[in-house]
Amino acid sequence: MVEIRSLAYVVAQCREPARWVQYAHEVLGAMAKSRADGVVLVKVDERPYRILVEPGSEDRYLASGWELSGRDAFQGLQLQLDRAGVVFELADAAACASRQVNGLLRASDPSGNRHEFFWGPQLDARAFASPQGVSRFVTGEMGLGHTVLPALNFDATLEFFTKVLGFGVSDIFNFRPDPSVPAIPIHFLHCANGRHHSLALAGFPSPEGCVHIMLEVPDMTDVGRGHDRMQANGIKQMATLGQHLNDHMTSFYMQTPSTFALEYGFGGLVCDWEKHTAFEATEVSIWGHDFSVGFNEKKDAV
């Protein structure tokens, strides 16, 4: 089975993409620039971008960008999708140029989330230099971080990622906001890198198209300074500081200009999948992470 190497980028949509430039510079401590076509590229490492923001009529999440090792893997994935009966669309040259990659295909998972699979990202010589003194973002072969997607068609979506795309289940959590109704499943999935999860599937709706994305910084000082910048810039906090039980990440959550949330944390677990044992966490966090400050009206978690 072809390996999905990492979550390389996410695509957001925003009515005013320029808001992302300010958010990146002032809050995330990331670089950002507007392209001639109105797209905003948010840069957190040596890649030209890790968050691509398209102008549009709605503030929302659009797609997750998954990286393959090269052309052979890209062709192998097409065979895999064909065999599984998954409909996909090969991107034309203009679409590849927009994403700055050599080859790209698009497909939807059984819950309707949009995914892009590509090979051959273009690199330039522009180094990352944070405008806020963030030392660096933890990316590299582990990709940009993780994304948590709504999966109302849960079992079929889980099967799509595990059986068709080769993701592994790292851990599970069964969310029980109301003991009288069945638990809501959340499964944390990894691909071919050590990050505890690059993707989580959540069995509840998210009108923004994504529950949250996560960016990782190397230490607590960077998280604390990010927290200060969130407050100084009047950004809506979605969950208080806390530490997750499953991936040990110490983080807080805040809103992005595209309305979905962003987890800003450090200390995420890097796993050796030969030795890892999947478990069910019965608590989201070891301490903190009060989701009632932002997610409460939707009863969302994680």
Query: Which positions touch Fe ion (CB under 5 A)?
Result: 214, 263
Q: How far is the CB of 67 from Fe ion (least distance, A)?
A: 20
Closest to Fe ion by CB, 77 vs 202, is 202
Rounded Cα distance between 181 and 191, Å, is 32
- In the chain, alpha helices (H): 18-23, 71-83, 93-99, 154-159, 220-232
Strands 101-108 and 279-281: unpaired
Rounded Cα distance between 47 and 121, Å, is 8
Rounded Cα distance between 268 and 228, Å, is 21
Give residue 209's identity as a one-letter amino acid code: G
Q: SS3 string of 183-246?
A: CEEEEEEECCCCECCCEEEECCCCCCCCCEEEEECCCHHHHHHHHHHHHHCCCCEEEEEEEECC
Closest to Fe ion by CB, 2 vs 217, is 217
Rounded Cα distance between 221 and 288, Å, is 17
Helices and strands (H, E) in the chain, number of each type: 5, 18
Do 22 and 229 meet the contact criterion of CB atoms below 8 Å apart? no
Q: How far is the CB of 196 from Fe ion (least distance, A)?
A: 10
Beta bridge partners of 242: 251, 288
Q: How far is the CB of 131 from Fe ion (least distance, A)?
A: 25
Cα first-last separation, the chain: 30
Beta bridge partners of 55: 14
Closest to Fe ion by CB, 21 vs 151, is 151
Closest to Fe ion by CB, 5 vs 197, is 197
Q: How far is the CB of 29 from Fe ion (least distance, A)?
A: 19
Closest to Fe ion by CB, 164 vs 199, is 199
Closest to Fe ion by CB, 68 vs 144, is 144
Q: How far is the CB of 224 from Fe ion (least distance, A)?
A: 18
Do 60 and 209 meet the contact criterion of CB atoms below 8 Å apart? yes
Closest to Fe ion by CB, 192 vs 215, is 215
Q: How far is the CB of 293 from Fe ion (least distance, A)?
A: 16
Closest to Fe ion by CB, 208 vs 263, is 263
Q: How far is the CB of 148 from Fe ion (least distance, A)?
A: 6
Do 257 and 16 meet the contact criterion of CB atoms below 8 Å apart? yes
Q: How far is the CB of 60 from Fe ion (least distance, A)?
A: 18
